[in-house]
A and B are shown apart, each in its own frame.
Chain A
Amino acid sequence: MSATRTLTTARPRTGRSARMPVASEKSHRLRGKILLYVAMSLFGVIFLFPLVFMFVSSLKPDSQILQDIDSVNAFLPVGDISLDNYFGVFDRVPVAQFMFNSVLVTVLTVGLGLIVNSMAGFALSRLEWKGRLVVLALVIATLIVPFETIAVPMVYWVAQLPTLVVEGGVPKYDFGWLNTYEVQIVPFIANAFSIFLFTQYFSTIPKSLDEAARIDGASWFTIYRRILVPLSGPAFATVAILTFLPAWNQYLWPLMVVQKEELRPVMVGMQYFFQLNTAWGEVMAYTSLITLPVLIVFLIFQRAFVSSIAASGVKG
């Protein structure tokens, strides 16, 4: 008698059997949910605190930052709050020029990349031509080459490329791409991974569409332009996002090939802040300034961002 009683009471504790009372299961689930929220919030704090610290510190003078660092105040906009650091940043570096350079380089790299790589993807997935498979294999093989391994030889190489310069209204040839916009853009337009993503996406679209258009007398370019491009929004969004981040974040390359201040992008502009006594308040203001545009773009398009990254992984 007592044995059966212990058995029935002990049971719900070990495994969740069908006989478990409804109320207990509900509380069990609730407990699980609360635990989950606690865990996620804990991680949330870990992921957010450095950025909160950055934005808050950008509003404080250096003395206030140091004073607040021992308490929760480090994360709160309290005390001597002002935009002084931001004004200081504008005095110290040509922020507007850096921003313009970064926007120009990013927009052109992403925009031209979308056109060039999608056309290549079209040629590789929809057209039959001699050597197609060889080229496809080559493109996939180049995926493995990390940019860092070719960066140094590339400096050597671009320093010898011909370029058109206009001197006193007279155009003439010169050599060397160092200190130009094109050196920041042109090498990054064609991208093996983008071509690969476009090729994959285009091959999921039925080929009967091409055949119908061919019968109507459309050229291959028209088919690409009028049929494939409009049907491939997600592929274009994925490639745009995946190339936008590295273009905006370029650092190593412009550091090596662009010495002229007026041509440098925002990330390299960072260097102007580290003197003997680093003014950390101003540094935080500058990093906040160059992070905000990306964060805003991300928060607006976060759904597209997340699905782009996911798509790039699933295909791999």
Chain B
Amino acid sequence: MTVTPPTVAAELPRRATRRLRSIKSRETWAGLGMIAPAGILLVLFLIVPVILAFTLSFTNARLISPNPPRFVGFDNFIRAFTADPVFIQSVGNTAVFALVVVPVQAGLGLLLAVLVNRRMRGVTAFRVIFFIPVVTSIVVVSILWKFMYQQDGLINSMIDALTFGAWSGVDWLNDPHTALGAIIVLSIWQAVGFHMIIWLSGLQTIPEELYEAAKMDGASPWRQFTNVTWPGLRPTMVFVLVTITIAALGLFVQVDVMTQGGPVNSTSTIVYYAVRKGYEQQEIGYAAAISLIFFVAVLIIALIQRRLTREKD
């Protein structure tokens, strides 16, 4: 064993740290370099529009206008809540839509997931069938159902056949009492398969032994569901509820394709109204204010849901 001269020994840690530092800085550059493309794009097409939405909402900006936007303070927000009955009605319609779609879609999705969560011949085929509407574009789905909802369309003739002719037929999408309901039905039909798959993946994380133990204790299928399945699904439930709520609040395409918000604004939603104001009527400042209100609502609801579902743990 050779004795190292003291000078070299003192040098060693310093050189090592310098080298380490240069490795560190190279790692920093590599990190920045690899995040840069996504980072720049996210700033340009997410952060900037969010900031724009925020600032435009305090102006009277128009989409195409010779005059530069002028600061108007809270005018847009005051107008929305006090002087715009169509906006208020759009908020109401959106709320009704979400209040029906969230529980029904989540519940049906869970029912379907329980049905197909077993090893049986043909179960995969059923999973595929239940999922087919999800991959079908919502634009196509809306047009298809619009066709079926006509006064002399398939839906009425099917109800007529099922009630042995007692049905007189409804012009579903042109009646203010039924239009929103009709949109609710097709929306649930289209997306329930998506949530079935999410529930299914949650179901499959529950250990088989728990069910065996429950069966040994003589638990009925219902008891097995309430005592084993349901508690095991809590994290999945949070995800399903949050995603359905956010999707439901963003209702747009179905309305745009099927009813254009009518009849008499009975199907206008917040997002549909914002797009109509901002794009068709060019009132971009006002539309930005509505978008901002919508965003804050989404944020609050998502946070409340998270809080509520977490507290029970």
Contact = CB atoms under 8 A, between A and B. Distances in A.
A156 interface: yes
A176 B126 CA distance: 48
Contacts of A294: 135-137
B132 A192 contact: no
Given A128-B27, A270-B143, A309-B194, A157 B48 contact: yes
A48 B28 contact: no
A270 B28 CA distance: 49
A273 to B, nearest CB: 8
A139 B287 CA distance: 26
A295 B135 CA distance: 7
Interface stretch (B77-85, B96-104, B172-180, B197-205): B197-205
A156 B252 contact: no
Nearest to B140: A287
Contacts of B110: none
Interface string B122-151: 110011111111011111110111011000
Interface of A: 15-17, 33, 36-37, 39-40, 43-44, 46-48, 50-51, 53-54, 57, 66, 69-70, 74, 116-117, 119-120, 122-124, 127-130, 132, 135, 139, 142, 144-146, 148-157, 159, 186-190, 192, 195, 219-221, 224, 245, 248-249, 251-252, 256, 267, 270, 280, 283-284, 287, 290-291, 294-295, 298-299, 302, 305-306, 309-311, 313-314, 316
Given A117-B38, A132-B31, 13 more contacts: A53-B154, A116-B41, A146-B249, A149-B53, A149-B295, A156-B52, A187-B41, A220-B30, A251-B137, A251-B139, A283-B147, A298-B131, A314-B205
Interface of B: 24, 27-28, 30-35, 37-39, 41-42, 44-50, 52-53, 56, 61, 63, 112, 115-116, 118, 120, 122-123, 126-133, 135-141, 143-145, 147-148, 152-154, 157, 160-161, 189, 193-194, 197-198, 200-202, 205, 218, 220, 236, 238-240, 242-243, 246, 249-250, 252-253, 256-257, 271, 274-275, 278-279, 284, 287-288, 291-292, 294-295, 298-299, 302
26 contacts: A37-B122, A43-B115, A47-B133, A116-B37, A124-B35, A128-B31, A129-B28, A145-B46, A148-B252, A148-B291, A149-B50, A149-B291, A150-B49, A150-B50, A152-B279, A153-B50, A153-B53, A155-B278, A155-B279, A156-B284, A190-B42, A251-B253, A309-B197, A314-B202, A314-B236, A316-B242
What are the 4 closest A-B residue pairs judged by CB atoms, nearest first? A129-B31, A310-B201, A190-B41, A152-B278
